[in-house]
């Protein structure tokens, strides 16, 4: 499952898009090279979430990108998404697997080494670890835990690890040097005045930090 989601894992947030609606904003990010999108719209009811999920499924399919649904296994199934991303208060990965089967991806948000190990042992295909830096969206989960946590988790967990929380093109190098398989972002792309350009810059910065070519 390594590199399943690519270097930049985009997470939507109803308050984030600066230039148009969620679908239009996500398309700009896809045009910039993003190949994984997590639909996280906590303000929508089930009907609205499923409608948006279906629209994003059609869009991401056209770009060969993966669509992950936040928390809702039912919406993931009904929309034909590629998987779900679970929080610490969600159903357990093993229970999500019973609903989704073996072909869909299961991600888990973690905030410590203990939670990361538990997610892996529970059957997660990938995890997000953070908040690495300060960010309003992750403030309820406590103070930033810093990029060193990535190295600690990678030492004992053998699935892809995505750094999350306050990450942008200027500070992501620290997470890469600590072994992150990718970075999960909201604001760094969706709150940009030029979403496509910001997506390209994030991907280029990640590749450069990895020691590879920055271009496509």
Residues with a catalytic annotation lie at 40, 109, 138
Hey, how many other C-beta atoms are within 10 angstroms of the C-beta on 103? 7
CA–CA dist 83, 29 (Å, integer): 20
* Measured torsion, CA atoms of residues 116, 208, 145, 141, in degrees rounded to the nearest 10: -70
183 neighbors 167 (Cβ within 8 angstroms): yes
The CA–CA distances, whole Å, from 158 to 87, 119, 200 equal: 20, 11, 28
The set of long-range contacts for 92-96, using a CB threshold of 8 Å and a minimum separation of 24, is: 92/122, 93/119, 93/122, 93/123, 93/124, 94/122, 94/123
């Amino acid at each position: 499952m390594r590199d399943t989601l690519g270097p930049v894992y985009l997470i939507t947030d109803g308050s984030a898009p600066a230039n148009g609606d969620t679908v239009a904003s996500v398309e700009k990010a896809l045009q910039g090279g993003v190949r994984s999108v997590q639909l996280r719209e906590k303000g929508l009811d089930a009907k609205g979430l499923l409608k948006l999920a279906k629209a994003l499924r059609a869009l991401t399919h056209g770009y060969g990108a993966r669509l992950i649904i936040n928390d809702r296994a039912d919406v993931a199934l009904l929309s034909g998404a590629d998987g779900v991303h679970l929080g610490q208060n969600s159903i357990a990965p093993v229970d999500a697997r019973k609903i989704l089967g073996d072909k869909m991806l299961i991600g888990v948000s973690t905030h410590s080494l203990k939670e990361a190990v538990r997610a892996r042992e529970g059957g997660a295909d990938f995890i997000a670890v953070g908040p690495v830096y300060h960010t309003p969206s992750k403030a309820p989960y406590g103070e930033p835990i810093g990029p060193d946590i990535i190295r600690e988790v990678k030492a004992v967990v053998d699935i892809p690890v995505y750094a999350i929380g306050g990450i942008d093109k200027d500070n992501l190098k620290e997470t890469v040097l600590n072994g992150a398989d990718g970075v999960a972002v909201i604001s760094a792309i969706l709150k940009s005045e030029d979403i496509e350009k910001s997506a390209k810059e994030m991907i280029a910065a990640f590749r450069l930090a990895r020691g590879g070519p920055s271009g496509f």
